[in-house]
A and B are shown apart, each in its own frame.
Chain A
């Protein structure tokens, strides 16, 4: 099986190790991974801030980059949700504005092939035990987009529960937003920081060595709050845990 990796702009620029982990993990599971270099940002920051028109070229670019693939896998719940939920909206609005059905068609092609990493593992590859080993205590924060827009359910947890040596610690108030919300963190800094502080307090309360999510953008916010407080809890993307093995710890 051959899949295209949609690494996302944040991972590309700031968290390359997450993308490398996805490649390592998928190849270990016998999947051939391509990285179409024409890919770029999904348009989420622009769309969520109200710049819908600025996202249209990115929808077309996504279509061009991934047109030839049956599966597109991304290590980001919010970017997967952006494609799945909002590309059809962008297409419909463009059509309603009398600008043709090009974006409707592009969205219709993109939506069914878009998989968030844990969805792809559990639903397509049908594995829960990916042969990982990560001998640490970990707490899992289900990100809002993964939880509510994608409906990931307990897929990430099931994958983590099969990781050798990993001890999963329950996170109180797990389903509450960490307060990042893209430009929300900039436009409402006080509320965002208050939410982040509460999330971090809960994470520290678990005593876990690491906090893991399916999205590096939330981890960026959580991690930034953690280091500012001098806490040593590591923010880790789930892909990096799943890529880790006894022979080559990540």
Chain B
């Protein structure tokens, strides 16, 4: 898999292919189960987790309600601290801004801290088109880049790869990007990490431009925050002369004090650690210390449209901890690539269709990529009711309704291809509202029950390929009740 997420097959097809990839499933099952158990233990250590979670949700909700205010406050604070602020309405504009800023430095190479926002806009590809090479420095992101691959997990982008696959990628690819892999590299974690360290060190020492995202932006001080485990991000943030940070507008929090909540919620939810190994914060520029030029690119790219939806907007609370991915039974079988964006798993299933709109077949299939089991909601540290948003988006797919696209209110038409389902649902709804009809149907089914196949042709075939259909009993409950108990006159009359 290489290049871009565009043109991804719709979710069910992509997921069906992944379920047949036994290596992928083994890699994912092992990784997600391990982290899942660790997270549960780390969370159980705090007896005020429920309150912390509520506080996290409340801070984010309040910020989102007054987002314009906090963004302006942030802009003013960044400028006062010596930084420059750019507003990008969509991916193209953000890519144009960053490309121009890098060009102005005269450099053709940049080092990058892992960043979901730059993946979302396809920045590496845009830079490549402009003749600028972007080097990913996060270990997992490096593996993805060297493997001409796409990330498949928020926190561990190369989670779909095992150690021997990584060794093969390092051996094959490192030389064409810089320092080659050491001779005789094995798949021991220590050797792989050392190979990556040597490879990356050359990049850090020569880089003049760094590109990052941010986990949080503090409005009152204009401070950006990145949390990470390896320390490579810190190198990118401090060694280059120019730092360009591309951040989604929903990442702002009002005050420094709010970090107290999130710096507890995030590490326990994501890596099951009590504290992040590296928490880097930077505020504008400082003479003689760190980057001397700092640009903040504030990215909208569908976020204000999402904000306009009162049910769907809770997706913007997300702090990208990836806990929902790690508990999701669908993600575990389908793998991250099936979701067709850098945001896989449950959060991707609600965020991507909102950021991009529901017009595409992939986007329209994502709200159905869930059994609504609720495990994601249970673990989400900012209490995003993902099942609620999924059902809400399903309604938009099948019934249409008012949405905001490009800042303007429009009415979405029901998606094509749901006509038969809509007719069935309406017929079922009508029958359910006419118990007399329903009873007649059940009686007919009972009388013909010996004729029912246990495997189905047509649209039901997919179901009955792996499962038997239930046998229809000789008598419905309703009929049994009437036969044995009679019906009280008060409740007689099955019709409307």
Contact = CB atoms under 8 A, between A and B. Distances in A.
B373 interface: yes
Interface string A134-165: 00000000001101110000000000000000
A99 interface: no
Interface string B377-404: 1100000000010010111111100000
A150 to B, nearest CB: 10
A221 B467 contact: yes
Contact of A225 (B15, B370, B466, B487): B466
Main secondary structure of the interface of B (DSSP, over half): helix
A148 B378 contact: yes
A190 B19 contact: yes
A40 interface: yes
Interface string B355-371: 00000000000011111
Main secondary structure of the interface of A (DSSP, over half): helix
A14 interface: yes
A161 B371 CA distance: 30
B302 to A, nearest CB: 21
Contacts of A57: 429, 433
Interface string B170-208: 000000000000000000000000000000000000000
Contacts of A182: 371-372
Chain B CB within 10 Å, residue with most, of A40, A50, A51, A175: A50
A195 B377 contact: no
A227 B468 contact: yes
B425 A191 contact: no
Contacts of A49: 394, 398, 421, 425
Given A144-B374, A190-B12, A191-B15, A176 B329 contact: yes
By size class, the interface of chain B is: 35 or more
A148 B136 CA distance: 39
Contacts of B482: 37
Given A35-B485, A48-B391, A148 B375 contact: yes
A37 B463 contact: no
A91 interface: no
A14 B333 CA distance: 30
Interface string B459-496: 11011011111101101111011100101100111100
A182 B369 CA distance: 12
B425 A46 contact: yes
Interface in B16-70: 16, 19-20, 25
B373 A191 contact: no
9 contacts: A7-B477, A12-B442, A37-B481, A37-B491, A38-B493, A51-B399, A183-B368, A195-B330, A196-B467
Nearest to B426: A54
Interface string A179-214: 111111111111111111100000000000000000
A182 B460 CA distance: 13
A11 interface: yes
Given A181-B373, A187-B368, 17 more contacts: A12-B477, A34-B488, A45-B428, A46-B425, A51-B425, A54-B425, A176-B329, A186-B462, A188-B12, A188-B330, A189-B465, A190-B20, A191-B12, A191-B330, A191-B369, A197-B466, A221-B467
Interface of B: 11-12, 15-16, 19-20, 25, 329-330, 333-334, 367-375, 377-378, 388, 391, 393-399, 421-422, 425-426, 428-429, 432-433, 435, 438, 442, 445, 459-460, 462-463, 465-470, 472-473, 475-478, 480-482, 485, 487-488, 491-494
Contact of A188 (B369, B375, B468): B369
Contacts of A61: 432-433
Contacts of A40: 432-433, 435, 438
A58 B432 contact: yes
Contact of A194 (B19, B428, B433): B19
Given A148-B374, A148-B377, A188 B329 contact: no
Contacts of A144: 371-375
A13 interface: yes
Contacts of A51: 395, 398-399, 422, 425-426, 429
Interface of A: 7, 9, 11-17, 19-20, 34-41, 43, 45-55, 57-58, 61, 65, 89, 144-145, 147-149, 175-177, 179-197, 220-221, 223-225, 227-228
Contacts of B395: 50-52
Contact of B467 (A48, A52, A54, A193): A193
A55 B429 contact: yes
Contact of A36 (B374, B426, B467, B491): B491
Nearest to B459: A186
Contacts of B475: 16
B374 A58 contact: no
B462 A46 contact: no
B428 A46 contact: yes
Contacts of A14: 470, 472-473
A47 B333 CA distance: 25
Nearest to B33: A173
Contacts of B20: 190
